[in-house]
């Protein structure tokens, strides 16, 4: 596996000056980001397949072990706060359980049956989207999870950093970011991990955009649960409606803090009618505004 290979360039790394060590690691991070470029088409195909399933009520499911699993959990846990994605439509299948987030459980990743059982326990079905992440692409737990999810007709997506990975054989979509050998041989928390994080950022964000949870580059499904977020919500309503911040505060109060509803109220839609309008258009603010005004903005 290329992610495990020793690079001749770095065999004397521990004898280098600190600035040269840092420069080498930094260059590796740039290489990781560049490796994602060739995967954009595969990511787009996965997004286009995932969105209809999620619109039917499916769940986002992340499966992985070790560093890959932790990166997956990090991506998923950001979705409720950023896009108000329902927590009950998120599933995390982590080798060793969620305790493995803070305490390594390396042996757990070798159990393919446990990965499959995690999918059975989660009652994975055809409307679910299951993302399996493994730098090597060989991790038995993750292979087992994706194999079982594919058998349940879920939308399955494999993310790995080695070409020809077994993980790719058990998924509907595969996303390869070929990051090669690490500065520290086998330490896939570095280049491979960075590429994985970028892939998941791109995938989950694009999914949320396509599902109408973003409007004009703003996270309009965000829930204002803190002073900072309340200020952000006020600024968004003010920007979209083109009103004063004091008016934005009033619209948000009328809308019980819901940004999309507040925008429609600010545009002249009644509170109840705004909710119904959004419901008719599956929460898509652009479509709701167009229906009310005949214009996109």
Q: Token match 């070929």: residue?
A: 178
**Whole-number Å distance between alpha carbons of 219 and 157:** 25
Query: Could you give the percent of the chain with pLDDT greater than 90?
Result: 84
User: Which residues are known to be catalytic?
Assistant: 78, 109
Q: Which token pair is 256?
A: 């019980």
Strand partners, 139: none
Residue-wise pLDDT tens digits, 143-183: 999 999 999 999 999 999 999 999 999 999 999 999 998 88
Residue-wise pLDDT tens digits, 213-260: 999 999 999 888 889 999 999 999 999 999 999 999 999 999 999 999
Which residues have CB under 8 Å from 117's CB, separation 6+? none
Residue-wise pLDDT tens digits, 41-70: 999 999 999 999 999 999 999 999 999 999
The larger pLDDT score, comparing residue 104 to residue 284, is at 284
**217: phi > 0 → left, psi -120 to 50 → alpha, else beta; which?**
left
Residue-wise pLDDT tens digits, 30-39: 999 999 999 9
The larger pLDDT score, comparing residue 127 to residue 99, is at 127
**Whole-number Å distance between alpha carbons of 261 and 244:** 17
Fold for the domain defined by 227-293: Helicase, Ruva Protein; domain 3 (1.10.8)
SS3 for 280? helix
Domain residue spans of the chain: 2-210, 227-293
Max Cα separation, the chain?
Answer: 69
Homologous superfamily of domain range 2-210: Glucose-6-phosphate isomerase like protein; domain 1 (3.40.50.10490)
Helix (H) or strand (E) holding 19: helix 18-36
**Whole-number Å distance between alpha carbons of 270 and 130:** 39
What number of CA atoms fall less than 13 Å from residue 15's CA on the CB side?
Answer: 4
* Residue 208 near residue 183 (C-beta atoms within 8 A): no
Angle at 88 between CA 150 and CA 79, to 5 degrees: 90
Position 184 pLDDT exceeds 80: yes
DSSP 11: T
**Whole-number Å distance between alpha carbons of 285 and 297:** 10
**Whole-number Å distance between alpha carbons of 36 and 49:** 19
């Amino acid at each position: 596996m290329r992610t495990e290979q020793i690079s001749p360039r770095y065999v004397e790394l521990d004898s280098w000056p600190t600035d040269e060590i840092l420069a080498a690691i930094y260059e590796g991070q740039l290489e990781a980001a560049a490796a994602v470029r060739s995967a954009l088409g595969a990511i787009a195909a996965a997004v286009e397949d995932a969105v209809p399933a999620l619109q039917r009520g499916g769940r986002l499911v992340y499966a992985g072990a070790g560093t890959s699993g932790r990166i997956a959990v990090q991506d998923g846990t950001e979705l409720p706060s950023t896009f108000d994605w329902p927590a009950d439509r998120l599933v995390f299948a982590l080798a060793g359980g969620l305790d493995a987030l803070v305490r390594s459980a390396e042996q757990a990743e070798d159990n393919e049956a446990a990965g499959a059982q995690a999918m059975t326990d989660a009652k994975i079905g055809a409307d679910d989207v299951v993302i399996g992440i493994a730098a090597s692409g060989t991790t038995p737990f993750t292979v087992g999870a994706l194999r079982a999810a594919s058998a349940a007709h879920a939308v399955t997506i494999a993310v790995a950093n080695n070409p020809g990975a077994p993980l790719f054989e058990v998924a509907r979509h595969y996303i390869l970011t070929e990051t090669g050998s690490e500065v520290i041989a086998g330490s896939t928390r570095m280049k491979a991990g960075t590429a994985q994080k970028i892939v998941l950022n791109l995938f989950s964000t694009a999914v949320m955009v396509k599902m109408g949870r973003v409007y004009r580059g703003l996270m309009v499904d965000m829930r204002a649960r803190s002073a900072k977020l309340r200020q952000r919500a006020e600024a968004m309503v003010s920007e979209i409606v083109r009103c004063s911040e004091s008016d934005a505060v009033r619209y948000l109060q009328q809308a019980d803090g819901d940004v999309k509803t507040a925008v429609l109220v600010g545009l002249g839609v009644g509170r109840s009618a705004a909710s119904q309008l959004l419901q008719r258009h599956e929460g898509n603010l652009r479509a709701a505004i167009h229906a009310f005004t005949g214009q996109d903005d």
